[in-house]
Amino acid sequence: MSLLTNEEIKDGTQTQHPSKNGAGIRFETKIVRRIEEIPASDWESVYPKALEGYRFFRTIDDSNLNQFSFHYILIYQDGKPAGAASCFLMNYSLDTTVQGSFKTFTSFLRRIFPGILDSKTLMCGSPIGPGKMGVAGNTQGVFEAIYKAIEAIAEKEKVAIIAFKEFDSSYRGLFSSLAKQGFHRFDSFPNTDKEIHFENFEAYLKSLSYKTRYDLKRKFKKVDGHVPIDLEITHQLDGGILEEAYGLYRQVILKHPVAFEVLPKEFFANVSKHMPQETRFFLWRIRGKLVAFEFCLVSGDYFLDCYLGLDYSVAYQHHLYFVRFRDLINWCIKNGIRRYEMGCTNYDPKKRLGFQFIPLDIYAKHRNRWINSFLRVFCRFLEPKRFDPVLKELDRPKDRPRKSLSWGVFFMIILSDAVNGVAQVLMKKGLPAGMDLFSVGGLGNFLSRSASSELVWAGIILYASNFFLWMLILSRLDLVIAIALASTSYLILPILSIAFLHEKVSLVRWAGIALIMLGVYFVSRSSGENKI
Amino acid sequence: MTAQKIGAIVFFVLLAEILNTMGQFLFKKTANSIQAPQLSHLKSYGPFFHKVLRSVWIWLGLGVMAVGLVVWLAALSEGELSFVYSIGSLQYILVLLTARFLLKEKVNRTRVIGTILVASGIFLITLS
């Protein structure tokens, strides 16, 4: 079965291609480069109801997001729209989500091998916010048709990586067939949202922890009555104000280490044109000078907090982040908003402000089979939660500590080994040797003579204290892992004798040491395997 | 060493291993039934150890371990040190089986390979 040919996509015009799946249902696939080539009613009849829908994509199309090149896929089943998906091409840096010392490493890598971390990627979803997809009727069949269209685009554009970007867990069922296609699922940055059911801001504050509440009140006290901050809410930004607001947005982008998309100025003008009802710009001024701005979308009782702009020369001094947040919450309460959604990143204040985190998944595969199997391992190191202290903590709820190997546990094992080693030496020195143990009397004699030795007792006490350490270790690790890791005790003695006694170590012994280390590496590596 | 004595030592070592593994099994079983403490919060150790010490299984495990220790010492005082220790590496196989069938731990290929590598490494070190 032939899929879309090259010319058809290149034109960017409508492409129609009837295809049949196993059940004999006819699907027609339409791929366009601008969403306006699809009738709005067709798209909206299948795509999930969301603020980031048809008109949002029109805004993006009009705004010259040069880093992305869009494709919109619409599937018709028996002439009726049954599936809708958006995807975009981009050069994705594999280290986008990476922070800290790992980032230093990857930028070093990039200097030596330019291009090694940047791959041409076809992403299904939206560059802005969580991904969505519309499927109706025979959902698995429709999804297959969408996937075939994605593969066809990937083939045509010589794409290296295909990914489904940031879909929430409700899509897991629909996407379950992706595993067979070689996709790996990874955790992305979670989305954040909050139910708003408060009578006033005071009631909201009461729902927060004591520490946060106290901290916020102290901040507001410093600002209120001292700094005149004026708030203006508009549906569009023109000329000079747009320029000013965009400057503040750039400040936030530059400050932030992980930026996936950088929107051009046109976007903020176009969004008022395409979504006049939904768009809200909140502008905060101090003595006429714009110091903060927020771009939000509103629909019914749903509030989507999209982009923030801050003037960092005064932001910290006047606690603008929190003053802004108080105004937004107040506005939400006044306008009957029930759900407040904020985007990804910057999790620490969001957690303190009582937002809940909604996990999002990324499904990705490299189209080269060999690189793909490597990608699976590699991507685990790139998962954002490894780099964000707040997300790391979330992963490990207070009442259920993470059951895997950490450096703390590993240190405890080494300590336990050392105590054990000392205890053994004491025992060996204190025990009577060369006695007949194979008779009742002999055994009794052996026991009574052992019991009279102080060294033996000291050894027993050490063994006993080691028991507590060992129970702590067992509360963290599987028995197989704990026992295997404890075998590092066999390494301590040879290593000490090599280091301090300059003893010659036989080849067999070296081989034994190497085998143990290799085994420990294998076992400890397996302790974190609790993914798909 | 006579064949009879070697047989007796092997028997003692194996008995010690089985007793020791039984003790470990009881320890782990108890640890699984108690809420684990936060490693960084010393305060959470108190309730943890309190529950540990009140568990019957722990005391049974300690008893079994103590008997195992005596048997082990007996074997040590009789046989060559390296010989006794090298048969000791068999315990890893016992632990693997216990974890798989009694504790229902996940025993995948990586873990089996790792454990066998460790056991054979110990065999080599102790034999030489």
Q: What is the pLDDT of residues A512-522, one digit of tens each?
A: 888 988 988 88
User: Shortest CB distance from B77 goes to which of A435, A474, A512?
Assistant: A435
Partner A contacted by B108 (CB < 8 A):
yes
Domain that holds residue B10: 3-127
Q: Would you state the structure tokens that stand for residue A263, as one six-digit string? A: 């929107």
- d(CA A108, CA B84) in angstroms, rounded, equals 52
Quote the pTM value: 0.57
- d(CA A366, CA A237) in angstroms, rounded, equals 42
Q: Residues 6 or more apart from B126 whose CB is under 8 A from it?
A: A490, A512, B82, B85, B86, B88, B89
Cβ atoms within 10 Å, residue A130: 23
Q: Among B69, B94, B97, B124, pick the best mutation site for testing chain A contact (most A Cβ within 10 A).
A: B124
Q: Would you state the structure tokens that stand for residue B64, as one six-digit string? A: 């079994």
- Confidence at A17, pLDDT banded by 50, 70, 90: low
Tally of domains within chain B: 1
- d(CA A77, CA A100) in angstroms, rounded, equals 49
Report the pLDDT averaged over residues A339-362.
83
- Contact criterion met (CB below 8 Å) for A155 and A8: no
- Quick one: closest CA in B to A459, which residue? B69
- What confidence tens digit (pLDDT) does each residue in A421-475 have? 788 778 777 766 655 555 566 667 767 777 777 888 888 888 888 888 999 888 8
B84 versus A275: the higher-pLDDT residue is A275
Q: Which A positions 448-467 lie with beta carbon below 8 A of chain B?
A: 450, 463, 467
Is the per-residue pLDDT at A113 higher than 90?
no
Contacting residues of A for B45, CB less than 8 Å apart: 472
- What confidence tens digit (pLDDT) does each residue in A180-233 have? 888 888 888 888 888 888 888 889 988 888 888 888 999 898 888 888 888 999
Contacting residues of B for A494, CB less than 8 Å apart: 125
Please compute Rg for chain A using Cα positions: 31
A493-505 per-residue burial string, b: 16 or more CB within 10 A, e: under 16: ebeeeeeeeeeee
Please compute Rg for chain B using Cα positions: 17
Is the per-residue pLDDT at B108 higher than 70?
yes
What domains can be seen in chain A, in order of their start residue? 6-189+360-394 (3.40.630.30), 192-358 (3.40.630.30), 407-528 (no CATH)
Share of chain A above pLDDT 90, in %: 14
Contacting residues of A for B36, CB less than 8 Å apart: 400-401, 403, 475-476
Is the per-residue pLDDT at A420 higher than 90?
no
Is the per-residue pLDDT at A296 higher than 50?
yes
Closest CA to A529 of A488, A493, A482, A478: A478
Share of chain A above pLDDT 70, in %: 78
Per-residue model confidence (pLDDT) at position A15: 47
- Confidence at A306, pLDDT banded by 50, 70, 90: confident
- Confidence at A264, pLDDT banded by 50, 70, 90: confident
- Cβ-defined contact of B24 to A479 (cutoff 8 Å): yes
- d(CA A3, CA A305) in angstroms, rounded, equals 40
- Quick one: closest CA in B to A445, which residue? B74
Is the per-residue pLDDT at A22 higher than 90?
no
- d(CA B111, CA A524) in angstroms, rounded, equals 8
- d(CA A314, CA A505) in angstroms, rounded, equals 66
Is the per-residue pLDDT at A25 higher than 90?
no
Per-residue model confidence (pLDDT) at position A531: 26
- d(CA A214, CA A45) in angstroms, rounded, equals 48
- Cβ-defined contact of A475 to B62 (cutoff 8 Å): no
Rounded to the nearest angstrom, the minimum Cα separation between A177 and chain B is 24
Q: Would you state the structure tokens that stand for residue B74, as one six-digit string? A: 């007996």
Is the per-residue pLDDT at A1 higher than 50?
no
- What confidence tens digit (pLDDT) does each residue in A144-154 have? 999 999 999 99
- d(CA B87, CA A438) in angstroms, rounded, equals 20
- d(CA A490, CA B78) in angstroms, rounded, equals 22
Q: Which A positions 395-414 lie with beta carbon below 8 A of chain B?
A: 398-401, 403, 406, 408-409, 412
Rounded to the nearest angstrom, the minimum Cα separation between A331 and chain B is 41
Is the per-residue pLDDT at A6 higher than 50?
no
- Contact criterion met (CB below 8 Å) for A342 and A296: no
DSSP-based three-state secondary structure for A300: coil
Run of H or E including A120 = strand A118-124
Is the per-residue pLDDT at A403 higher than 70?
no
Is the per-residue pLDDT at A3 higher than 50?
no
Rounded to the nearest angstrom, the minimum Cα separation between B88 and chain A is 12
Identity of the highest mean pLDDT range in A7-21, A345-359, A493-507: A345-359
Q: Check residue B80 and report its DSSP letter.
A: -
Per-residue model confidence (pLDDT) at position A432: 65
Give phi and psi for A83, each to the nearest 5: -150, 140
Partner A contacted by B105 (CB < 8 A):
yes
Which residues are A29's β-sheet partners? A17, A75
Is the per-residue pLDDT at A314 higher than 50?
yes
Partner A contacted by B59 (CB < 8 A):
no
Is the per-residue pLDDT at A4 higher than 90?
no
User: Mean pLDDT over all residues of chain A?
Assistant: 80
- d(CA A171, CA A169) in angstroms, rounded, equals 5
Give phi and psi for A337, each to the nearest 5: -75, 135
Per-residue model confidence (pLDDT) at position A398: 42
A362 versus A452: the higher-pLDDT residue is A362
Per-residue model confidence (pLDDT) at position A498: 72
ipTM of the complex: 0.91
Tokens 């070093």 sit on residue? A108
- Cβ-defined contact of B52 to A471 (cutoff 8 Å): yes
- Cβ-defined contact of B125 to A427 (cutoff 8 Å): no
- Cβ-defined contact of A529 to B119 (cutoff 8 Å): no
- Confidence at A110, pLDDT banded by 50, 70, 90: low
- Contact criterion met (CB below 8 Å) for A385 and B23: no
Q: Residues 6 or more apart from A520 whose CB is under 8 A from it?
A: A484, A485, A487, A488, B114, B118
Report the pLDDT averaged over residues A333-347.
84
Report CA-CA distances (Å) from A191 to A134, A142, A340, A477: 20, 27, 11, 31
- Confidence at A90, pLDDT banded by 50, 70, 90: confident
- Confidence at B16, pLDDT banded by 50, 70, 90: very high
User: Mean pLDDT over all residues of chain B?
Assistant: 86
- d(CA B19, CA B25) in angstroms, rounded, equals 10
Q: A-B interface: how many C-beta pairs under 8 angstroms?
A: 160
